[in-house]
A and B are shown apart, each in its own frame.
Chain A
């Protein structure tokens, strides 16, 4: 965490992050008008979202200079979140016979 003496430098950094987030938002929308396949569109959209999310987390939430315990907590979060997604992925290949899903 920064002290009061270099807070002006922090503010300059926040402006840069804001600009980057706006540019990435425009890129996200612009790319969605290109005719990618679904898989490519998902990968591109989520990669940009991940980049934007990382900027918010690292600079606005100060994760770039946090204490070790916060990283440990977030390590658990990542593990359980990925486990949850993996369970969904596994269930995709294990649909009981006769089950029909409607949209």
Chain B
């Protein structure tokens, strides 16, 4: 079987291995996706006759708690990568497992938040604020779900690669980590914009 080049070593012209270039191009498109929705938020807010303060509708302590959860998951993700660099596979499994559990915690808390809103008959159709709130946070939650799926694969069946090709597996975890940190980064902006302003 022919193996694709530059999956471990860096290309001479780009200075990057293939997946590194790929993830940054993908994240560029992601910035524009969220950027389009952020600009929609700005347009809707500046054009509205009245705009509610986020804290009058949303629960700030819960939003802050979820921010800390996602930041902690980013730290455990980067620790998982560092563990592979140290050749400590057990430590990698522990840290990636913590990352997945924290991501699930984020989703559970978010679903409770959504549930509370629905109980109070607050839906996307209720107001422009809620429409953009649900759109932005649901799109972000989809990214969290995507991250959980990828990380769970690397924690479970995908981890077999560590035995056969540790350098390639370490690169895979670095790429998954860059994506996961982006998901964290988006929330870092969503939290103040939606909850605190």
Contact = CB atoms under 8 A, between A and B. Distances in A.
Interface of A: 2, 4, 7, 10-11, 14-15, 17-18, 21-22, 25, 28-29, 32, 38, 41-42, 45-46, 48-49, 52-53, 56-57, 59-62, 67-70, 73-74, 76-77, 80-81, 84-85, 87-88, 91-92, 95, 101-103
B49 interface: yes
Given A14-B82, A25-B64, A60-B78, A32 B192 contact: yes
Given A28-B192, A53-B185, A14 B75 contact: yes
Contacts of B68: 22, 25
B94 interface: no
Interface string B122-162: 00000111000000000000000000000000000000000
B98 interface: no
Contacts of B86: 4, 7
Contacts of A68: 15
Contacts, number: 137
B15 A74 contact: no
B75 A53 contact: no
Contacts of B38: 85
Interface in B57-90: 60, 64, 67-68, 71-72, 74-75, 77-79, 82, 85-87
Given A68-B15, A103-B48, A92 B188 contact: no
Given A29-B60, A68-B15, A81-B35, A103 B71 contact: no
A103 to B, nearest CB: 4
Number of contact residues on B: which range applies?
35 or more
Nearest to B47: A101
The 7 closest A-B pairs by CB, nearest first: A103-B48, A67-B15, A101-B47, A45-B192, A32-B196, A60-B181, A88-B39
A73 B85 contact: no
Contacts of A56: 74, 181, 184-185, 188
Nearest to A8: B86
Interface stretch (B1-9, B20-28, B100-108, B110-118): B20-28
B49 A74 contact: no
A69 B129 CA distance: 39
A84 B31 CA distance: 11
